[in-house]
Structure 1
Amino acid sequence: MAAATLAAAGIAAAAACGTADGGGDRPGGGAAERLATAQLVQFGDAKVVPERSEEGPYGELATVRNAEELRSATELDKPDCLDAVNRWARLPGVRDAAASLATFARGEDTIAHLLVDAGADVAEEAVAASPPAECATYTATLQDGSTSTYRVRELELDRVGDASRGFAVETEMSGERVLLYSLLYRNADYLATTTILGTGDADEYADTLTAFSRAALDRESEILPS
């Protein structure tokens, strides 16, 4: 992708990853390491990229910190919409929760799976939340003055885990459509998101999103205490 398109994709990814507000820091310790062992290492031709995967307290993950930096450097016409898809990151206790992020490469696509030991109450509240209606479309202005319009919609997908919901974020930059498909699901005390970022086929992304999440859930159920 062109550099400007990558920036646009980064904003879309921030919308799915979310940013964490408030709270102190504590070591992720063994809990985060256990979550990391519950991650898939391969799904079809998508292979994990160790140097782009990490674990620790959610608020200390480099991906989350980068999203916060991107947010501060971007002007939105609707500021609350940058993390519209994953507003759960603002819930109390999430920042300090043990988390693991596994990133996979699949051709030009990136698949990421985030697993958070959020607790049952937070996980249930997170999946129940909907993006604000005004965030169906929003516009971002980058530091170089370029603008991109983003469209957010809910996806109709089969349920994964105890409860789930899916979203699509779409933008166009330099004549290239960029898609981010995201599925948020709850598995007892655990909250997880699967995201696919790329410029490929939307229907294939939706199918892969569900299939990957189900495979990840099976792996989690084998490793993590219920």
Structure 2
Amino acid sequence: MKTALITGANKSIGFETARQLLDAGYFVYIGSRDVARGEEAAAQLGSENTAVVPLDVTDAGSIHAARQLIGRTTDKLDVLINNAGIRGDFPQLPTSAPVSTIRSVFETNFFGAIEVTQTFMDLLRKAPHPRIVNVTSGLASLTLHSDPSWMYYPIKGAAYGPSKTALNAWTLALAYELRDTAFKVNVVDPGYTATDFNEHRGTGTVEDAAAIIVRFATLDADGPTGKYYSNDRDGEESPW
């Protein structure tokens, strides 16, 4: 049975992604900073093919403990989905946003994803067809941010968008490093989805958001790598 680790999987898009991967026949590790909420999520999923993994992506000790825990139950990891993310306090005006806010957002959205990926690389390398999906945002696109006709053009900030732009850039570098292997590494924007993240103001559903993540988590050998795809563009490539 193939295995997948999803960070921030106890609610919203992460939770629905877990459900869809379970339906696809995967064993899913539910990464959750709050263990009680992780247990609640696993109970709601109602599958014996889940395990809750305490995981705070901003805590190196927590990440390495999660690696040891998962390593005791499997010798490989087929899929890593770096889904955990925070928005940070708003407004995020570049001239006045506290550096502490920017740093906090980057710790979760950027450095957290890097450290989780590096820590689990040994298990990923043991899978025959490993997949890494880094969950990004349309607000990561510098090309779109420079286009006044883009529907989200006015939504700019010093922390959230830049943290995802940095994640995109790092993902490109990672995909290039792994270009001659069986890895497929992509960034996926689930679109403006109605979740707690945005007080449910989004226009998309968690089902559709999870579906595009699962699509890239389950790519076949001919699938793309080092690409940026978005639900806001009907699941097609997004400009960097």
Q: For the superposition of Structure 1 and Structure 2, which TM-score range results when normalised by the shorter chain?
A: 0.3 to 0.5
Higher strand share: 1
Provide TM-score, normalisation by structure 1.
Answer: 0.33
Higher relative contact order (CA 8 A, sep 6+): 1
Higher helix share: 2
